[in-house]
Structures are given as C-alpha cells and as structure tokens.
Amino acid sequence: MVETIEWTTRGVVMIDQTRLPRVTEFVTCQTYLEVADAIKTMVIRGAPAIGVAAAMGVALGVNHAAEATLDSEFETICATLAATRPTAVNLFWAIDRMKRLYASLQGQPIAAIRAALVEEAQLVYRDDIAINRAIGANGEPLVPDGKTVLTHCNAGALATAGYGTALGVIRAAVEAGKRIDVFADETRPFLQGARLTVWELQQDNIPVKLITDNMAGHFLKSGRIGCVVVGADRIASNGDVANKIGTYSVAVLAKENGVPFYVAAPISTLDLTLASGDQIPIEQRPASEVTEVFGTPVAPENTQVENPAFDVTPSKYVTAIITERGVARAPYGESLRALAAAEGDLK
Ligand code: MRU
C-alpha cells in the first residue's frame, strides 16, 4: 500500500497528491512552514492525513525553534498550521493534542520536549492506521457481497496515514472474501476520485470503474449499487456530515433509491461542540479549479465562479456512521455522544 506521509531524519516526506496519478513524486518538508504550505496547496489532503501532517509539522517546528523563544514560537507554529484549511476538524484535533502534550512538558529540558513531540507525532500516525483498520472491521459486515460500492472523493490510504476510512471499509470487505467492485465518482473540480481513488485501488488490484459525478443517480437507480461509503471532514453532534462537495447530492439520490449511505470516519472527526452542520465552516477554493482543467481553460475568460470545497449532508440521509469504536445510527445525538464518551474523550 502507498506510503502517504512519513517522519524521517531528512524531514516529513509526503507523496505529492497534486501530481498523481501521472507522476509519483515525494516532497520533503524540512520546516513547519513547508508542511503548512503542503497542506494548503493539497500536496497532502484528506482529513486524517492533514491531522497527521500538522502533528509532524508541530514537531518539526519545535525541533528548529530557539530555546529562549520556545513558547512564542510554539504558538506561532500552531497558529500557522491551524490557518491552512478550515473544514476538517482533524487538523485542529491534532494540533490540540500536541498543545496538551507541550503544556504537560513545561520545565523539562528542550531536548526532552523535542523528543516527546516527535514521538507523539509518530503516535498520531500509528494510531491513525490502527483506527482505520478498526473502522474497516466494523464497516465490512455492512457491505453486501456481489455488489458495487459507490464512493466519492478519496477517503483512502492517501487521505489518512494508511488503509483509509471509506476505502478501509472496502479493503476490509475484499480481505473478508467479498466479491465487490467499486464505482469512483470523479469528484470535480479537484478530481480526487479520478486521480487518487482509482490510482490507489488499482495499486491494490481492487476492481474499480471511474464515473463522472453526474452519473451517480443513474447507477443508484439501476440496482447495481449495494451501498455508498464516503469519508467525512467534520461531523456535528446531530450527525450532519461535512464531506467533499457533491456528497450531499449522492446521499439524497441514495435515499431516494433505497441504497444505504454510510459515512466512515474516526472519532477525531466528530465535533460535538457544534449542534448541527450549519455551523461547520466551509472552505472556499480558487475559481481557477472550476474554470480550468490542468491549466486549460474550460470556461470563457472572466467567468464568475463559486467553489465551495465541501457540503453538509443532513443526518436524515445517513444510514450509519462507522467509527473505530462501533457503528452509530440515528438518533445520532445519543449514539455519537455514547461512542465519543466510550474512552472518556468527549470534547
Ligand atoms: O479537499 P480534500 O481532498 O482534503 O477533501 C477530502 C475529503 O472530503 C475526504 O472525503 C475526507 O477528508 C475524508 S478522508 C478519510
């Protein structure tokens, strides 16, 4: 399976997701500013992956910070990484985790602080892979044998430390011997489905077909799709789900056609401070992503554009939310709170 991000002695190494699938190239970030830039420019993307990147970015920043100004530099490092992308809550969750550790290390020699932060960032990475395997194990029984699974965007190994959330459920179903294939929505405008999901599944020899986003309704009506599985960037306490733009349309079409719509996400994607999805900040991205395809204009000059990167699917369209601690179903207010409290980390 592809290595998305890695802590090395040379720096934080990431596969460049802006260049896949044509070029497999790795970027080495030697400073926290380079990590922040990699998140902003989507060299690395996907909610859990940017959380891991941010944790490693904090560790990298502290490794280069001066002892005399450590506290203020730490604040700047965290604020800079937090300002990269607004929607995926895993980014803020990971930075808060590093902040809590840093606070607990006050008074220790700088070498010990640096070592502890590096260890913690690597733990965030290792935990994420274990969490995704647990999500896969919990979600696999929901995937019907002999059917097609529809997914949107990329919630795979590339969007996490490894294995994936939605694609983790698909991987677990394949590992369990189920005969399934995958339809990947291309996911305009950034084409995470076409470029990343198809590439990633091909690496693992999991049968996949690419469809354009506007074909999803046609196939959901056809009876071929056994279920939809997608990831999430933030889940409010009532079960509303922010995920890649276009997810909402797929969810409505799934419900209309009686196809189960599953969301696979770690507990760290829950934001129980928010009552509903209306409060989730939605990132707006550059117009050029819509007016151009790989630098080639596909619209007249000066075309006005809206480019929200995410939408919110109301929980009434969500059949179940698959986490590492179990599967939540409506009423989500209760089921999500119970899962979050299971390990005592209720936000
Ligand atoms: O803009 P992106 O590519 O970071 O958006 C990614 C998604 O919307 C994913 O579905 C989500 O982060 C879940 S990844 C396991």
| pLDDT mean over 89-100 | 98
Which atom of ligand 1 sits closest to the CA of residue 165?
Answer: 15
110 CA to middle of ligand 1, Å? 35
> Is 233 among the catalytic positions?
yes
**Residue 66 scores a pLDDT above 70:** yes
- Tell me what pLDDT residue 2 has: 76
Q: Where are the alpha helices (DSSP H) in 42-197?
A: 47-64, 70-82, 89-104, 110-139, 166-175, 192
- Tell me what pLDDT residue 294 has: 86
309 CA to middle of ligand 1, Å? 9
Pocket test for ligand 1, best of 42, 89, 188, 192 (most atoms within 8 A of CB): 192
**Residue 101 scores a pLDDT above 70:** yes
Which atom of ligand 1 sits closest to the CA of residue 152?
Answer: 10
Report the C-alpha gap between 183 and 150 in whole angstroms: 5
- Tell me what pLDDT residue 344 has: 54
pLDDT tens digits, one per residue of 251-304: 999 999 999 999 999 999 999 999 999 999 999 999 999 999 989 999 999 999
Give the closest residue (by CA) to ligand 1 atom 15: 155
Pocket test for ligand 1, best of 2, 229, 233 (most atoms within 8 A of CB): 233
CB 305 within 8 A of CB 291: yes
- Tell me what pLDDT residue 347 has: 39
Mean pLDDT, all residues of the chain: 97
**Residue 12 scores a pLDDT above 70:** yes
For residue 288, give every residue at least 6 positions away whose Cβ sits within 8 Å of its Cβ, in sequence order, or none.
none
Which atom of ligand 1 sits closest to the CA of residue 47?
Answer: 12
345 CA to middle of ligand 1, Å? 23
**Residue 183 scores a pLDDT above 90:** yes
308 CA to middle of ligand 1, Å? 13
H or E segment and range at residue 265: none
Report the C-alpha gap between 334 and 232 in whole angstroms: 19
Q: What percent of the chain has pLDDT over 90?
A: 97
Q: What percent of the chain has pLDDT over 70?
A: 98
- Tell me what pLDDT residue 1 has: 66
Give the closest residue (by CA) to ligand 1 atom 10: 231
**From 128, 185, 213, 233, the catalytic residue:** 233
Give the closest residue (by CA) to ligand 1 atom 6: 46
Angle (deg, nearest 10), helices 47-64 and 32-40: 160
8 CA to middle of ligand 1, Å? 25
Ligand 1 pocket (Cβ < 6 Å) reads 45-48, 88, 153, 155, 159-160, 165, 192, 231-233, 243-244, 309
CB atoms within 10 A of CB 286: 11
CB atoms within 10 A of CB 211: 16
- Tell me what pLDDT residue 152 has: 98
245 CA to middle of ligand 1, Å? 10
| CATH numbers and ranges of domains, the chain | 5-133 (1.20.120.420), 141-341 (3.40.50.10470)
- Tell me what pLDDT residue 346 has: 40
Dihedral over alpha carbons 96, 26, 87, 101 (to 10 degrees): 0
